[in-house]
Structure 1
Amino acid sequence: MKRHPLLPCAALVLAAGLQAQQPSATFNAFNDWLTAEARGVSVGADGRLRLAPALRRVAQLPEGVVWSAVSDGTAGAYLSAGNEGKLFRYTAGQVKPLAQVKGGIVFAMARLGNDLIVAPSGEGKLYRVTPAGDVKPFCEIEARLVWALGVDGNDLLVAGGGEKGAVLLLAREGSSRKLADLPEETAFTALAPDGKGAWYLGTHGRGLVVRYTGVRTGDRLETLAATGFEEVHAIALNGGRVFAGATSGVSNRFATGSLERREGYLAEPGTQTKSAVIRIDRDGVPQTLWQSTQSQIFALAAWNGHLLVGTGNRSRLFSVPLSDAERAENPFAALQDLGAAQATAFLPAGSDLMVVASNPAELHLINQVQATEGTVESRILKGAPLADWGRAYVESLTPQGTSVDFQVRTGATETPDSTWTPWTPPLVGGERPNLPPARNAQFRLRLSSTRGGATPTVESVRIHWANRNLAPLWEGVEIMPPGLVITRTAPPDDIGIERVPLETQKLIPALGYAGSEKRSFRRGAQAFMFKVADPNGDPLAFAIRLLPEAGGAPIPLEKAWKERFFTFDTLPVPDGKYRLEVTASDAPGVPLNAALEATWRTGAFIIDHTPPVISEVSAVQDGDRVRVRFSARDATSVLKEAAVSADGDSWVQVAPESRIFDTQEATFDVTLPRDRVRGNRVLVRVTDLCNNEQTASAAIGEPKRK
């Protein structure tokens, strides 16, 4: 037997050093393979892969769902499918229509002699169907829906739901009578005989497991277990023990679905548990053998020393050892995946076992002979956003006559299609695949054996890749109004001495917090907001420089700024026009020789500390009004606003003679009511775009220059 090691010791050290920088994926536990596509390969509870019992599809039905299936006694089967009471027969490898009965879906059938007894929903009747397809009434029953039929000699046990809850009936041709009922439950949903005169039933409502005895000796109904689930959908008996498949949320109309990433098949049932296999031993003690938060149980069968569990929402067959000793060593295995949505029934078929699937409706045969070949296709591995795909290491046991091949393919789409690369030839352990960089990748394991009964075992797979580093992507840099301060520290205490412009007040909620940063106001401050993202999600650092428009050397402000906002004090900088240059680098999150950067330069903005000059100020009495005239000019910025105070307290906004503030100089001519003027002086104030202010005054009655 060959054992293929995972990695040489030296390579292990190297891989450990790269782990923090480069991604890898390890598959060595059951959940790692949960969303993989397995064909002919079983996945053990310990995460090991082995060849599974051989499975082959033998037939398909034109309908989507098979609701009920019974053996025809000759390795064939009778099937009810679709929503219109259609019946089919599978024999000699072919599916042929048999008959169609009046009513709705046929959820239950039984073979009585050579004939088939069916129970169409909503009819309150049973029908007899001959092998030739002739349909005739069998008897009337007091049940709205029949979920299971059982044969007791020449009689039938009918399990279903009536107007007053779950009901069990005895039916024979031309008549029927009630054996037992459970008004607290909606219906009996499963039925299985023990061969000694007792019948075991499952219910819908509280998910009870019930034993009925006394078809001929007096009715007796005994509850063995309350599972805590909504419904017991399947029951199997073996060695005096009862196995119940309990499920919540089973729909009459089967739906397709997909599996999630994680499962807890061995955990104790909880509020999120969707289904469970519960064993009731000879002493009536229940024990949960298997449970799922995703799958629903549709069928159970004792076969080849194991309990087979047919599930949806992905038609996976699970195998649970019947032996306590074997189960302690390997609690369960995902035995096969049918490739449909639900595995709904198991039927004996000679030495094989027939498995019925729905969505699409198919028939499969599974036998005790091990498959000679099987494949497992992994889940899609994702680069971020583009990756170079590297070596993989497979740890496996390969007895003589067995082998394990490893292949990889890559592509850009979420699911493999014709645009993906072909599978590589089988790779030797540690061989780097010759593949182009791609966003997604998938690997495939092929297990094979030329010796009967011998199987390779895959214990783990580890695959490495390196995400292609991409440069940061700039959307822009937002230039904030002059005076706004954005920091992670508390706002300055002296903010109260500043007159904060209205447009800036709107950006400072209560002069306090705005998101994770804190905002305030201080004259001479200039703030910026960086809108940039890294395609790889790497942390960024920013080198920031101030570029004078008039020429001259750039002024460095920061070398490795970490925030997405930046504020600097403009007071040491001469008045003029500038641009901010910000270079974003992903160096904090990638190796030194792989770092990339991207630069953004802002539009030009003004730094202006000098207030406007006010000249030719005059206030002249003109009848019952006062006429105020003045001129203003700013060397750097456009004028933004002007105001006049006639009482030394309140200010009145005024417009220039041109009516628009759009130049660096303007003249003003304003008249005020004389009774609004207190004292003999008038004040004027002018503000530029950088919030620099200048005031002046004039005595009433004579022109005043400043």
Structure 2
Amino acid sequence: MRWMKLLLPALVGMTLAADQPSATFSSFNDWLGAETRGVRIGADGRLTLAPSLRRVAQLPEGVIWSAVPDGTGGAYLSAGTEGKIFRYSGGQVRPVGQVKGGIVFAMARLGQDLILAPTGEGKLLRMTANGDVKPFADIEAKVVWSLAVDGDNVLAAGGAERGAVLVQAREGSSRLLASLPDETAFTALAPDGQGGWYLGSHGRGLVLRYSRQGDRLETLMDTPFEEVRALAVVDGQLYIGADNGLTPKFSTGQLERREGYLQAAETGAAMRSAVLRMDRDRVPETLWQSAQSQVYALMAWKGQLLVGTGNRSRIFGIPLGTERRNDPFASLQELGTAQATAFLPSGGDMLVVGSNPAELHLLSEAQATEGTLESRIIQGAPLADWGRAYLTSEQPQGTNVELQFRTGSTETPDATWSPWTPPLRSGERPALPPARCAQFRLRLTSTRGGATPVVEGVDLHWAPRNLAPVWAGVDIMPPGLVITRNAPPDDIGIERVPLSTQKLIPALGYAGAEKRSFRRGGQSFVFHVNDPNGDALAFDIRLLPEHGSPMALEKGWKERFFTFDTLPVPDGRYRLEVTASDAPSAPFNAALTSLWVTPPFLVDHTPPAIAELTAVPEGGGLRVKFTARDETSLLKEAAVSADGEHWLQIAPEDRVFDQQEERFDVLVPRDQVRGDRILVKAVDQNNNEQTASVSVGGAGKAR
């Protein structure tokens, strides 16, 4: 059925059972569009309770650009676009100070003070814990993306007019360590554990190593991405977070708001980000990649690599040990903000920085006792009866999984949606009215420490509600215009077609193999009708006379145009009644119809009558007079001729063709007359034509 073809691209894991749609949620990609809190999504698609996460602080600014530990379990934060610095400590956030200049993308802690790099200033500033600010050093970088402390030195990685630069600064002085003119900037910086530094760049997305021996800069990897945003070194191995299109968003001072994921991972879609690993032998390997997320931060924690992403603020975990073979990655938690931009150790827990809105969350190794997952919105367009959902899960003692359901007519749930149903048993039919959209919610709980339910999948079934075809109208074509799949055998040729109809033929613009031609007595119609379900349509067509009984013309007609021969039909006014049915696609006991009746149109085969025809010499010409009358329609044309081949168009006495009877009085120049006979012609609006002749000086016979 055609509506099935329309729904398939939007439904992940969708299957067809007896021509009825269903959706299966069991793989990792099936859950991509879901909203999760406290639910871990494994690479195999299994759902379990996640590590505990709780929000501990909020900031009025939308974006936290940089965060560094304060040395006591808290953090210093640069937020907003006005150079404001905050400190999170003891569960509270308080302002520390503010620096002039642009956004502070990078900070480092030097002793008890902060080193700051305002954008566009070409200098580093020093801020005390009390908020006092003084210059630290002028540097050759206009934008600094990363700062690191090396003894009494501060290393700044960023961009200058000459390209990417790495600068070393001390109080009152600085020197350029390395530059790369072909790259825009160095965007990431991490110590290599051997006195050198790993660098990531924006431009070609390079991974480089700077060695102090000879101030040497070498390229280790040319990633297939535009930039390297994050670096982490774990057990001598380098982990790389690479992205496309992220640095320009930072540069504008506006990161994207939280946005919905694609409902499925599109085949062949360009990757937006990846996490790569380079082992001790400098052999690269792709550990994780995404067409939806972008990588903002990397940090090793509890035997796994945490990956902070946007714009869904998901925290992914990649195992660092051998268990990666069985569980290569997982979505651990979701902040509910747009981005998870930084990780800061806080005792045995991890402080996670979120932006849009600006928040701090504490991630714990302890397992959450409750988690929820709200599925992506499922489309049953245009209207669906929502059926049963089947839950496949393991629920050890002390754990539970609840399934709920709601429906609505908008693509984003709002106050018009139904409330969530009470918890449903697997296979229980929800008591909900038909609706365009639906969503289910899973609630995982545990009353036993360490025990978690496991959701293997959800199978959902529904049936689109059949809706009647919707008419927009029927076009009545000019008389004589014929529309067929193939030109009719008695096509009389374009040279005989009235000029007004000739202009319509090439301009109709029908797709496919329809042919347009002209044939006397032909009457065509074009149907404008749509089926909301995308069903194939068939048409029953009747002719309704102004007086008398309807006449059946076609039954089960499949084309969106129709032509019939009016010659067997008496002159008069008629309407066309067209009944559209979706029976060709719908079940016979669910087929629906919709009726359209056209405005009246005229069937007229009788030519006008010509009377009182005279042709009398007058001066240097010939005075021709006659009357033309049509019983059914208005006249539209008249002409005179001396030989029947060359005609002179003439207007009626009152200059306007607007009656069924018109009088004509015209003086024809003598040089236009050959012989002693004159012919006249009258044509009505249905192209019926009548001619008559008269001898010069005589009276013509009425016709």
Is TM > 0.5 for Structure 1 vs Structure 2? yes
Counterpart residue type for residue 209 of structure 1 = V
Which structure 2 residues correspond to residues 260-659 of structure 1 after superposition, within 5 A? 260-261=261-262, 272-323=270-321, 325-490=322-487, 492=489, 494-496=491-493, 499-509=496-506, 514-516=510-512, 517-551=514-548, 553-659=549-655
Quote how far apart the aligned CAs of 1:492 are: 4.4
Change (3 A) 1:174 1:629: closer
* 1-structure distance, mates of 2:610, 2:127: 109
Q: Which residue of structure 2 aligns with residue 6 of structure 1?
A: none
1:681 aligns with 2:677: yes
Contact 1:491 1:519 in 2 (8 A): no
* 2-structure distance, mates of 1:669, 1:223: 98
Contact 1:508 1:514 in 2 (8 A): no
Contact 1:189 1:232 in 2 (8 A): yes
Q: TM-score, normalised by structure 1?
A: 0.92
Quote how far apart the aligned CAs of 1:408 are: 0.9
Q: Which residue of structure 2 aligns with residue 255 of structure 1?
A: 256
Quote how far apart the aligned CAs of 1:204 are: 2.1
Contact 1:641 1:653 in 2 (8 A): yes
1:120 aligns with 2:121: no
Change (3 A) 1:129 1:498: closer
Contact 1:27 1:461 in 2 (8 A): yes
What do residues 514-562 of structure 1 show as CA deviations (whole Å, max 9, x unaligned)? 43332111111111111222233322211001122121x3211111111
What do residues 647-669 of structure 1 show as CA deviations (whole Å, max 9, x unaligned)? 43221222333544333333322
Q: Which residue of structure 1 aligns with residue 137 of structure 2?
A: 139
User: What SS is found at the alignment partner of 1:702?
Assistant: coil
* 1-structure distance, mates of 2:656, 2:132: 97
Moved more, 291-300 or 274-283: 291-300
Quote how far apart the aligned CAs of 1:218 are: 4.7
Which structure 2 residues correspond to residues 145-164 of structure 1 after superposition, within 5 A? 145-164=143-162
1:52 aligns with 2:50: yes
Change (3 A) 1:352 1:188: same
Moved more, 227-236 or 420-429: 227-236
Contact 2:680 2:692 in 1 (8 A): yes
* 1-structure distance, mates of 2:123, 2:295: 28
* 2-structure distance, mates of 1:430, 1:56: 34
Contact 1:620 1:626 in 2 (8 A): yes
Quote how far apart the aligned CAs of 1:299 are: 0.5
Contact 1:263 1:292 in 2 (8 A): no
Quote how far apart the aligned CAs of 1:235 are: 0.2
Contact 1:34 1:259 in 2 (8 A): no
Contact 1:513 1:519 in 2 (8 A): no
The count of aligned residue pairs is 683
Q: What are the ranges of 5 or more consecutive residues in structure 1 without an aligned counterpart?
A: 1-14
Q: Which residue of structure 1 aligns with residue 5 of structure 2?
A: none
What do residues 73-127 of structure 1 show as CA deviations (whole Å, max 9, x unaligned)? 2211111111222111101111111122233222211122222222222333323
* 2-structure distance, mates of 1:619, 1:363: 103
Change (3 A) 1:304 1:695: same
User: What SS is found at the alignment partner of 2:497?
Assistant: coil
User: What SS is found at the alignment partner of 1:588?
Assistant: coil
User: What SS is found at the alignment partner of 2:491?
Assistant: helix
Quote how far apart the aligned CAs of 1:18 are: 5.2
Change (3 A) 1:65 1:545: same
What do residues 237-270 of structure 1 show as CA deviations (whole Å, max 9, x unaligned)? 11211011112211222222524425659x9xx8
User: What SS is found at the alignment partner of 1:117?
Assistant: strand
Contact 2:187 2:199 in 1 (8 A): yes
Change (3 A) 1:628 1:208: same
Q: 2:93 aligns with which of 92, 95, 111?
A: 95
Change (3 A) 1:271 1:588: closer
Change (3 A) 1:651 1:239: same
User: What SS is found at the alignment partner of 1:704?
Assistant: coil
User: What SS is found at the alignment partner of 1:705?
Assistant: coil
Change (3 A) 1:64 1:262: same
* 1-structure distance, mates of 2:126, 2:16: 73
Counterpart residue type for residue 564 of structure 1 = R
Quote how far apart the aligned CAs of 1:687 are: 1.4
Moved more, 590-599 or 88-97: 590-599
Quote how far apart the aligned CAs of 1:468 are: 2.6
Contact 1:190 1:203 in 2 (8 A): yes
Counterpart residue type for residue 319 of structure 2 = P
* 1-structure distance, mates of 2:632, 2:382: 47
Q: 1:246 aligns with which of 242, 256, 263?
A: 242
User: What SS is found at the alignment partner of 2:493?
Assistant: helix
* 2-structure distance, mates of 1:218, 1:700: 117
* 2-structure distance, mates of 1:302, 1:206: 26
Contact 1:98 1:133 in 2 (8 A): yes
* 1-structure distance, mates of 2:412, 2:225: 36
* 1-structure distance, mates of 2:453, 2:644: 97
Counterpart residue type for residue 180 of structure 1 = A
* 2-structure distance, mates of 1:60, 1:499: 81
Change (3 A) 1:399 1:489: farther
* 2-structure distance, mates of 1:480, 1:184: 66
User: What SS is found at the alignment partner of 2:458?
Assistant: strand
* 1-structure distance, mates of 2:295, 2:423: 37
Q: TM-score, normalised by structure 2?
A: 0.92
* 1-structure distance, mates of 2:581, 2:315: 51
Quote how far apart the aligned CAs of 1:346 are: 0.7
* 1-structure distance, mates of 2:167, 2:517: 81
Contact 1:108 1:118 in 2 (8 A): yes
What do residues 549-586 of structure 1 show as CA deviations (whole Å, max 9, x unaligned)? 121x3211111111121100112222222221111112
Counterpart residue type for residue 410 of structure 1 = T
Change (3 A) 1:289 1:693: same
Counterpart residue type for residue 315 of structure 1 = S
Contact 1:27 1:462 in 2 (8 A): yes
Change (3 A) 1:64 1:470: same
Change (3 A) 1:476 1:146: closer
Moved more, 534-543 or 402-411: 534-543
Contact 1:31 1:261 in 2 (8 A): no
Quote how far apart the aligned CAs of 1:39 are: 0.9
Quote how far apart the aligned CAs of 1:625 are: 1.7
Counterpart residue type for residue 515 of structure 1 = A
**Aligned-pair RMSD on alpha carbons?**
2.3
Counterpart residue type for residue 123 of structure 2 = K
Counterpart residue type for residue 213 of structure 1 = S
* 2-structure distance, mates of 1:661, 1:154: 101
Q: 2:661 aligns with which of 651, 654, 665?
A: 665
* 2-structure distance, mates of 1:156, 1:615: 110
Quote how far apart the aligned CAs of 1:620 are: 1.9
Counterpart residue type for residue 193 of structure 1 = P
Quote how far apart the aligned CAs of 1:471 are: 2.0
Contact 1:386 1:467 in 2 (8 A): yes
Counterpart residue type for residue 238 of structure 1 = V
Quote how far apart the aligned CAs of 1:446 are: 0.8
* 2-structure distance, mates of 1:165, 1:508: 63
Q: Which residue of structure 2 aligns with residue 199 of structure 1?
A: 197
User: What SS is found at the alignment partner of 1:529?
Assistant: strand
User: What SS is found at the alignment partner of 2:149?
Assistant: strand
Quote how far apart the aligned CAs of 1:351 are: 0.6
